[in-house]
């Protein structure tokens, strides 16, 4: 499908020099879609690669210095970490969409108000999740059936990780908010900083090199704590110095008082998206418990294979973040025709850029796995066997990721959640459980691509025939008599945060409400 250039003169919405021109990001509502999508996605992909390299470096140091039991420990611990991440992911994603829609409509006042309320809510929530995670860690590890020789290391690792969690989550939230403004490059630069610090500190704190204390597996987690904290501070300084729309000056600190309309939207829209991450993480924890039944070698092989899977998923994840940000701005600008084109182009790219790493890994096994497992390890052939079943299933999953990102950008958050519940808990987990007595561990590996194909079919079906095109996270309509602010089209004085069947009024922080005309849903 050919992309075309759109000009501000041909449509209502943001114009060059408006909010888009002053927020430090790109206007994602104009220009050729394919080129804009790739240009925006590449820094996101770079950030994902860096984060995965960081995780891989962690696994390499832990496995080669501390052994397979330690690798099993962090594999189990990371399942819990991602489970806790899901509790706050939805809030940050909902904030990302709300900020993007407000910016797409050139409503700077609303964007600032969303930033203030989301910042307060996010800090409180991340602290609560960190405390809850630290308290529940031993119980979850027991429920997962973590091998006894890996349990103590997993607890030591997670205690530090949960102390780092507020910094990790707020760093992620800030990165996603920057992408909502159209800026994907700045998050990449700070990802480079955090990964560089973590990779350098990791072996030093594990081994006690030089003046550093010898902390063992806890040193790996401590390096994450230090790197995330320092980089988050540097990022906030940069945002203030660059006068980003995402920071609040002393005169705007009143916006940190939560607006209950925004909070209500965050909860009603963010929790389903967060629950989707929890559903995925719980399924991963359940699958890990299945894997653990086959002993430490199979668990280590699974942990090594999942390190490669993160790289396979990265292109689709980067494209998903790009299409979500593009769709949010275009929804705010009323460009639903452009949203449709973004979806199809993104799906095509997902097939191409997920299929290529799958092919490379199939050709390069078992050599690529030796980065995580010693060449003589009995886990190595098991990991190769796992990949032979699982890898190709990430192609349909990548396509599903694109379609789900598009529909969520309008505020339609329940259908992707239901699709994930059906594919994971209605297909993958039961299939693995039912077939295990007949096929052994192979039943686990077979269930992965079958579940992914189910996710793709459900996501594509809702994209084609669902009612997502009429949804909005924020209903933004410029007021006909609003004054010229120099930010492009007239700014709104109020907006509606549209939830499932209801709307919450968001008053302007700078002016009383006034009558305005309503725009059609599409």
Residue 477 tokens read as: 């309509």
Q: Which of 291, 290, 299 is nearest to 379 (CA)?
A: 299
pLDDT at 503: 33
Least confident of 57-66, 105-114, 441-450, 457-466: 57-66
Beta bridge partners of 506: 495
pLDDT at 3: 39
Beta bridge partners of 498: 503
Judge whether 242 lies within some domain: yes
Judge whether 478 lies within some domain: no
pLDDT at 472: 65
Give tens-digit pLDDT for 2-11: 333 343 333 3
pLDDT at 236: 92
Residue with tokens 């829609």: 101
Are residues 482 and 83 in contact, defined by beta-carbon separation less than 8 angstroms?
no
Q: Residue 309: how many CB atoms within 10 A of its CB? A: 21
**DSSP 3-state of 32:** coil
- Between 239 and 124, residue with greater pLDDT: 239
- Residue 95 reports pLDDT greater than 60: yes
Judge whether 273 lies within some domain: yes
Q: Which of 31, 52, 23, 28 is nearest to 40 (CA)?
A: 28
Judge whether 4 lies within some domain: no
Residues 6+ apart with CB under 8 A from 422: 454, 458
- Between 389 and 80, residue with greater pLDDT: 389
Mean pLDDT of 496-507: 34
pLDDT at 504: 34
Average pLDDT, the chain: 78
> In percent, how much of the chain has pLDDT > 90?
20
pLDDT at 356: 92
Residue 462 tokens read as: 């809702």
Torsional sign, CA 180, 186, 188, 193 = negative
Mean pLDDT of 62-72: 75
Total of domains in the chain: 1
Instruction: pLDDT band for 148, please (50, 70, 90 cuts).
Output: confident
- Cα separations (Å) of 304 from 158, 313, 349, 371, 387? 19, 15, 27, 9, 10
Give tens-digit pLDDT for 208-226: 887 888 888 888 888 888 9
Q: CB-based burial of residue 127 (10 Å sphere; 0-12 exposed, 13-18 middle, 19+ buried)? A: middle
Judge whether 516 lies within some domain: no
- Residue 396 reports pLDDT greater than 90: yes
- Residue 495 reports pLDDT greater than 60: no
Q: Model pTM? A: 0.68
| Eight-class DSSP state of 487 | S
pLDDT at 348: 94
Give tens-digit pLDDT for 351-371: 999 999 899 888 887 788 887
Torsional sign, CA 93, 95, 97, 99 = negative
Judge whether 477 lies within some domain: no
pLDDT at 237: 93
Judge whether 47 lies within some domain: yes
pLDDT at 176: 84
Give tens-digit pLDDT for 218-275: 888 888 889 989 999 999 999 989 888 888 888 888 888 888 888 888 888 888 887 8
pLDDT at 508: 33
Judge whether 487 lies within some domain: no
Give tens-digit pLDDT for 173-202: 888 888 888 888 999 999 999 989 988 898
- Residue 498 reports pLDDT greater than 70: no
- Residue 60 reports pLDDT greater than 70: yes
Query: What is the residue range of 259's domain?
Result: 18-470
Give tens-digit pLDDT for 282-297: 888 888 889 988 888 8
Are residues 79 and 393 in contact, defined by beta-carbon separation less than 8 angstroms?
no
In the chain, how many H helices and how many E strands?
16, 2
- Residue 169 reports pLDDT greater than 60: yes
């Amino acid at each position: 499908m050919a992309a075309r250039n759109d000009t501000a003169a041909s449509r209502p919405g943001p114009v060059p020099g408006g909010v888009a021109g002053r927020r430090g990001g790109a206007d994602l509502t104009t220009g050729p879609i394919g080129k804009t999508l790739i240009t925006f996605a590449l820094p996101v992909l770079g950030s994902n690669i860096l984060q995965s390299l960081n995780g891989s470096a962690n696994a390499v140091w832990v496995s080669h210095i501390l052994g397979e039991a330690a690798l099993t420990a962090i594999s189990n611990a990371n399942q819990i970490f991602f489970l806790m991440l899901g509790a706050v992911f939805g809030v940050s994603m909902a904030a990302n969409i709300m900020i993007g829609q407000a910016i797409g409509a050139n409503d700077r006042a609303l964007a600032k108000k969303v930033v203030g309320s989301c910042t307060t809510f996010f800090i409180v929530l991340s602290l609560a999740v960190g405390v809850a995670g630290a308290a529940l860690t031993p119980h979850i590890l027991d429920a997962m059936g973590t091998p006894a020789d890996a349990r103590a290391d997993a607890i030591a690792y997670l205690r530090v990780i949960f102390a780092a969690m507020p910094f990790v989550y707020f760093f992620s939230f800030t990165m996603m908010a920057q992408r909502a403004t159209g800026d994907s490059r700045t998050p990449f630069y700070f990802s480079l900083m955090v990964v560089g610090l973590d990779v350098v500190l990791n072996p030093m704190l594990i081994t006690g090199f030089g003046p550093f204390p010898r902390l063992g597996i806890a040193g790996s987690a401590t390096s994450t704590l230090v790197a995330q904290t320092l980089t988050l501070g540097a990022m906030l300084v940069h945002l203030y110095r660059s006068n980003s729309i995402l920071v609040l000056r002393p005169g705007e600190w009143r916006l940190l008082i939560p607006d209950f309309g925004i909070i209500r939207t965050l909860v009603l829209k963010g929790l389903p998206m967060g629950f989707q991450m929890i559903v995925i993480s719980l399924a991963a924890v359940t699958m890990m418990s299945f894997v653990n039944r086959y002993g430490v070698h199979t668990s280590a092989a699974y942990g090594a294979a999942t390190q490669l899977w993160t790289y396979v998923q990265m292109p689709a994840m980067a494209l998903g973040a790009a299409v979500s940000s593009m769709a949010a701005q275009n929804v705010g600008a009323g460009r639903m025709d452009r949203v449709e084109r973004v979806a199809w182009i993104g799906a095509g790219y997902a097939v191409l850029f997920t299929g290529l790493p799958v092919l490379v890994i199939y050709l390069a096994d078992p050599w690529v796995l030796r980065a995580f497992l010693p060449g003589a390890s009995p886990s190595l052939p098991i990991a190769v066997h796992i990949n032979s079943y699982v890898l190709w299933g990430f192609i349909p999953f990548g396509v599903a990721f694109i379609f789900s990102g598009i529909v969520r950008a309008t505020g339609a958050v329940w259908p992707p959640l239901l699709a994930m519940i059906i594919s994971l808990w209605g297909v993958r987990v039961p299939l693995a459980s039912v077939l295990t007595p007949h096929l052994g561990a192979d039943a686990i590996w077979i269930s992965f691509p079958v579940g992914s194909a189910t996710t793709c079919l459900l996501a594509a079906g809702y994209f084609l025939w669902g009612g997502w095109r009429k949804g909005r996270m924020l209903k933004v309509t410029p007021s006909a008599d609003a004054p010229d602010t120099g930010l492009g089209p007239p700014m709104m004085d109020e907006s509606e945060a549209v939830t499932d069947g209801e709307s919450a009024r968001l008053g302007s922080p700078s002016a009383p409400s006034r009558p305005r005309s309503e725009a059609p849903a599409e």
